[in-house]
Structure 1
């Protein structure tokens, strides 16, 4: 049974990042910077404080917003160490990941079904493949140029030192040395530079998709173990003296949050007389995993959570090319059960909530657009149910109450195009 309307004076927010190697303090600094910017734009008060007790990576804010004082503890549920381990693959291993990941999506037919939802995230998935193959082609050219330069230069040098009579017997050895040692070294140095600099984010994205699809949609053991830790921490917070416990999952963190909450509810670890438990998912990429053949666990969690009395709001925006914008993650995965309640699918509507100047500044910054859900909006409409990350996380209404009268987006996509719809028992 859903809780009646609750005026929130204390809230605890637990944020689950996507596949991101940055330390949790980067999220803390982003939040503090952006809530200060939103406070200036929207006219509320905010002050920073110390992190909550028991939080490994946390901080605190006090706000006076919408006529009420609210104290909010926030923390990041950490899995960046697993991400960094997943990104540690060398050059050769990364190209093997490319081949395996491409086969996973093409061989299963998932790629073609994903394209029927949104082309943006599929293009984002194909982008690193194209870039890495292009860099491999350049590396091959550099291989030849390195060999050619060594061959020509060494021939002139040896001719000067040893004379033409002694040069001919060494020609074969020198040629093979250039072809098999000097050329490959030049190519490897070029690819190493590309991987380390990664100005185009292609290597990062390749490793992201490779990690998510490594077991054909099943969660890797180390991720399952960390999710159990997340569940333990959320269960601990649910025993605290707060009005709302809000779990936020961003990007890949959205499907992690879904599975963690499903585990908590199944295990009976959500107290009936405790704080309101709410779920906010932002910029989700759920179909990239749920459309794979072995994602039975995730599909079961999607179906289960969609009928629970835990308010779940899903926010995306068509302007975010890295997310499956306005795609209902339960419905498109083909597992919507009878009596489905959630999620409420709404749009962050970047074209309306950001000024033309801000939209222009972000136009080619695709990753920052993917993080805009966590940022200030400089053109928010004067409506209490407009998407505003800081009213949700630091305002006086629970997630359910804030969106109690909000209708789902008319442009949402609910077509069940997934080929694989079996779920874990």
Structure 2
């Protein structure tokens, strides 16, 4: 296949993670492992090398797919330091943000409207609230039982004081045990995730806005380089960050400015968790803008099997900012139940957090979604999905109470 026929010979990829405190090397190793598995299944060759050129976190991919050789540079747009900082809370602070977050989602009516879309991500949002309250209940019961036991042996104020002192120590021990084991329960992690946007009622924290402008500059620099496609990928919470980053980039960029083709892929998005909040004016305005612009082809891929995402919910339409001029995104399903073998699906179906990352992994029987062909193959995103119909079961009904795009 000639360079002219294949469309992409060189590509830059920018991956925006969700609310994830881990170092980008985790994504590099995931890509290495899963790309090798997909290549073996699908019959192509793909390999990783150390990152070339500027930029702190990433890797280089060489692939031979469908008779074409493609070189792709993948960079992780880093904001894990902010995630770590936002998670740096003690037990008491976590219960404080639990109350604040619950109040914002319930008091604003956002929670009830989110439930009209998909139950899965709402249950995922309620899980940390429920489990943290269970932990608190167990701690209180332990404290109560110990206090009563001590008072049965020691009467008077000495028994009361000593009993509740020992009970308090036991209660703290129980709460601290669950906090230290949160890598198995994910209650603290998820609570901090939902609290991150809720604490500003949907507005971006100033430190995130500053980092997003750095992302804009990184992508703008790539658009001045000698590549054929610049592909921006937003996963989970990274999807709504990507929407705003690209909206800012396009507003700053001349419409007909020459350069590589710019593409946008959102995976496992949870946009409504933010866009349904009262002060998410910035995000709603950016969603409306990205839906109407003609410079970037935007594809949104989710799957009903992913209980942590708003599967097949058009993020623009359900947020209530779609107009007759809407062009994007193309919404379709990764169809986990069809593109994974029965054995693999049975193994993964109850591993909810692992399924939320399946978009970045190999499929036993891939349909027209293949993460590695998209990021390392010879076609641009627009060419790959040209004429592809949106999923018929997508949800487009606007249910958001807050639809304003400015204060």
Report the TM-score, using the length of structure 1 for normalisation. Answer: 0.92
Match of 1:332 among 312, 318, 324: 318
Give ranges in structure 2 of 5+ residues lacking alignment: none
> Residue 214 of structure 2 corresponds to which residue in structure 1?
229
CA contact (8 A) 1:264 1:270 kept: no
1:394 and 2:379 aligned: no
Q: In the aligned structure 1, how far is the partner of 2:47 from the partner of 2:358? A: 22
Aligned to 1:175: 160
Alignment of 1:244-259 (within 5 A): 244-259=229-244
Which residue of 1 is the match for residue 363 of structure 2?
A: 377
Kindly provide the CA deviation profile for residues 160-198 of structure 1, in whole angstroms up to 9, marking residues without a partner as x: xxxxxxxx7xx522431321x221121111111101211
Matches within 5 A, 1:136-285: 136-148=136-148, 150=150, 171-179=156-164, 181-198=165-182, 199-268=184-253, 272-285=257-270
Say whether the 8 Å CA contact 1:114–1:287 is kept in structure 2.
yes
| Structure 2 counterparts to residues 19-58 of structure 1, below 5 A | 19-58=19-58
Partner Cα distance (1:104, 1:409) in 2: 33
d(CA) in 2 for partners of 1:261 and 1:269? 13
Determine if contact 1:17/1:76 at 8 Å carries over to the other structure. yes
Shift of 1:149: 5.2
Q: Does 1:355 align with 2:341?
A: yes
Distance 1:221 1:147 in 2: 46
Q: Secondary structure at the match of 2:70?
A: strand
Deviation, 1:148, is 4.3
Deviation per CA, 1:211-254, whole angstroms, max 9, x where unpaired? 12111111111111111111111111111111000000000000
Residue 273 of structure 2 corresponds to which residue in structure 1? 288
Counterpart residue number, 1:79: 79
Task: Return the offset for 1:379.
Answer: 1.3
Q: CA deviation at 1:145?
A: 3.2
CA distance in 2, matches of 1:419, 1:301: 17
> SS of the counterpart of 1:380?
coil
CA distance in 1: counterparts of 2:256 and 2:229, whole angstroms: 12
1:5, CA displacement in angstroms? 8.4
1:134 paired residue number:
134
Q: In 2, distance between residues paired with 1:270 and 1:288? A: 31
- Give the match for residue 105 of structure 1: 105
Deviation at 1:142, TM superposition (A): 1.4
Return closer, same or farther for 1:5/1:46 CA change in 2, 3 Å cut-off: closer
Could you say which residue in structure 2 is the equivalent of 1:161?
none
Q: Comparing 414-423 with 192-201, which one deviates more in the overlay?
A: 192-201
C-alpha offsets along residues 281-301 of structure 1, whole Å, 9 cap, x if unaligned? 000000000001100000000
Deviations for 1:55-79, whole angstroms, at most 9, x for unmatched residues?
1101011000011000010011000
Structure 2 contact 6–68 (Cα < 8 Å) conserved: no
Contact 1:124 1:321 in 2 (8 A): yes
Aligned to 1:183, what secondary structure does the other structure show? Answer: helix
Quick check: 1:235–1:269 contact (8 Å CA) kept in 2?
Answer: no
CA contact (8 A) 2:150 2:162 kept: no
Change (3 A) 1:237 1:149: farther
* Cα distance in 1 for residues equivalent to 2:208 and 2:5: 35
User: SS state of the match for residue 306, structure 1?
Assistant: helix
Whole-Å Cα distance in 1 between the matches of residues 123 and 332 of structure 2? 23
User: Counterpart of 2:292 in 1: which secondary structure?
Assistant: coil
Deviation of 1:269 after TM superposition, in Å, equals 6.6
Query: The residue matched to 1:391 in structure 2 has which SS?
Result: helix
Q: Are residues 1:308 and 2:293 paired?
A: yes
Q: Name the Cα RMSD after superposition.
A: 1.6
Q: Are the structure 2 counterparts of residues 57 and 401 from structure 1 closer, same or farther at C-alpha, using a change threshold of 3 Å?
A: same
State how far apart, in whole Å, the 2-side matches of 1:373 and 1:137 are.
37
> 1:10, 1:104 → 2: CA distance?
46
- Are positions 1:414 and 2:388 aligned together? no
Which segment drifts farther, 261-270 or 39-48? 261-270
